[in-house]
């Protein structure tokens, strides 16, 4: 009953124009911030309009839902998940309440095979508390369960951010702790441990994966993809999720350029520290595995790790 009441509230809030952000919170489900700047209204409309004629085509996809971190994959995911059918429903600047508001048209109407959800950074930037993010995510999960009690839900922990109070480490940890308490034993929800993928010892993000401390670079996305593949396999998805060997060649979100080096395609970000140039490197090996590393010009060597 709670699900149907919530969806009725969404319909009432958007009955005049489903692509318009309501001018007030009246009748809008959930709690916390819903961004209403002219810039965000434009982004919200343009992104959602671009999906309207793709609903039938993308039915049965694994749907990724989130903000700019999700949007940054690109609409085609650049081949990061091989033959798996995926759909990107990330909108930069969005909040957990925004996801809740657009859940039916953007996700449920796709009859998704599974949903991958990651959110929280923009809520915290708007000074929401971790409990607010958790509360909205709980409503999203309830709505997805009501739609299809057998559909897998992959809930990614909120990524770490900068070591400051703009998006406090303590609040991010609180969100993820609440996820653990609520969903650890839930048969329909898989909790993806994505916080520790990118967090340093202080709980803040590692610049080698998130150069601006929020958004992944190519190496960061490869690491995230590597964490998703075993989950998809565990869920019984039979498709080959080995990434296209050329998946990241055209991937330019926060990355400067791609070079061909000894027959490896390298995607690197130049980060200068004084007279030393340091490069985050992503090599896609011929077997399809990712090798990420860091080149230091002063040391003249390359340290690396196999990601997936």
Residues 229, 265 share a domain: no
- Which of 52-61, 185-194, 299-308 comes out lowest in average pLDDT? 299-308
**pLDDT at res. 210:** 93
Residues 150, 42 share a domain: yes
Rounded to whole angstroms, the Cα distance separating 243 from 284 reads 9
pLDDT score of 123 more than 60: yes
* Domain-located, residue 154: yes
* Domain-located, residue 99: yes
pLDDT score of 201 more than 50: yes
What pTM was computed for the model?
0.81
Taking alpha carbons only, the member of 154, 180, 176 closest to residue 235 is: 154
**Per-residue pLDDT averaged across 90-97, rounded?**
98
- Residues pairing with 278 in the sheet: 271, 296
SS3 assignment, position 198: helix
- Which of 133-137, 173-177, 272-276 comes out lowest in average pLDDT? 272-276
* CATH number, domain containing residue 281: 3.10.450
> Residue 195 belongs to what domain range?
2-234
- Would you state the torsion angle of the CA atoms of residues 117, 204, 221, 34, taken in this order, to the nearest 10 degrees? 40
**Per-residue pLDDT averaged across 67-81, rounded?**
91
Q: Torsions phi, psi of 138, nearest 5?
A: -60, -40
pLDDT score of 118 more than 90: yes
**Per-residue pLDDT averaged across 246-256, rounded?**
43
First to last CA, the chain: 43
- Which of 10-19, 116-125, 176-185 comes out lowest in average pLDDT? 10-19
Residues 101, 39 share a domain: yes
* Domain-located, residue 87: yes
**Per-residue pLDDT averaged across 67-87, rounded?**
92
**pLDDT at res. 79:** 85
Cα angle, residue 87 at apex, residues 81 and 93 outer, rounded to 5° = 110
Q: In what order do the strands lie in the sheet with 86-90?
A: 86-90, 62-66, 114-118, 153-156, 189-192
* Domain-located, residue 249: no
- Which of 16-20, 48-52, 245-249 comes out lowest in average pLDDT? 245-249
Share of the chain above pLDDT 70, in %: 74
* Domain-located, residue 250: no
* CATH number, domain containing residue 160: 3.40.50.1110
With bands split at pLDDT 50, 70 and 90, how would you rate the model's confidence at 217? confident
With bands split at pLDDT 50, 70 and 90, how would you rate the model's confidence at 115? very high
With bands split at pLDDT 50, 70 and 90, how would you rate the model's confidence at 245? low
Residues 229, 115 share a domain: yes
**pLDDT at res. 271:** 39
Residues 275, 229 share a domain: no
Domain count, the chain: 2
Q: Which residue has the tokens 């923009």?
A: 122
* Domain-located, residue 251: no
* Domain-located, residue 291: yes
């Amino acid at each position: 009953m709670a699900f149907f009441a919530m969806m009725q509230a969404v319909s009432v809030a958007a009955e005049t124009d489903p692509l318009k952000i309501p001018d007030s919170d009246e009748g809008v489900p959930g709690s916390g911030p819903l961004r209403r700047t002219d810039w965000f209204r434009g982004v919200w409309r343009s992104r959602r309009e671009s999906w309207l004629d793709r609903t039938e085509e993308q039915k049965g996809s694994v749907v990724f839902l989130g903000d700019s971190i999700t949007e940054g994959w690109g609409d085609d995911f650049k081949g990061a998940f091989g033959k798996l059918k995926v759909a990107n429903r990330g909108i930069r600047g969005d909040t957990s309440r925004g996801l809740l508001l657009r859940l039916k048209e953007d996700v449920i109407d796709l009859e998704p095979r599974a949903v991958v959800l990651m959110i929280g950074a923009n809520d915290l930037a708007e000074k929401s508390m971790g409990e607010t993010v958790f509360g909205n995510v709980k409503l999203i999960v309830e709505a997805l369960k009501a739609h299809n009690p057998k559909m897998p839900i992959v809930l990614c922990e909120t990524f770490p951010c900068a070591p400051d109070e703009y998006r406090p480490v303590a609040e991010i940890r609180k969100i993820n702790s609440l996820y653990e308490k609520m969903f650890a034993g839930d048969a329909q929800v898989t909790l993806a441990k994505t916080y520790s993928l990118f967090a340093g010892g202080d709980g803040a993000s590692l610049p080698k994966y998130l150069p601006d401390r929020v958004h992944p670079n190519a190496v960061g996305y490869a690491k995230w993809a590597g964490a998703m593949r075993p989950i998809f396999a565990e869920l019984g998805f039979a498709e080959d999720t080995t990434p296209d060997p050329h998946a990241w060649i055209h991937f330019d979100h926060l990355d400067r350029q791609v070079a061909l080096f000894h027959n490896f395609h390298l995607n690197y970000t130049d980060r200068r520290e004084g007279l030393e140039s340091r490069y985050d490197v992503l090599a896609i090996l011929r077997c399809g595995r990712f090798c990420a590393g860091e080149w230091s010009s002063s040391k003249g060597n390359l340290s690396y790790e196999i990601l997936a």
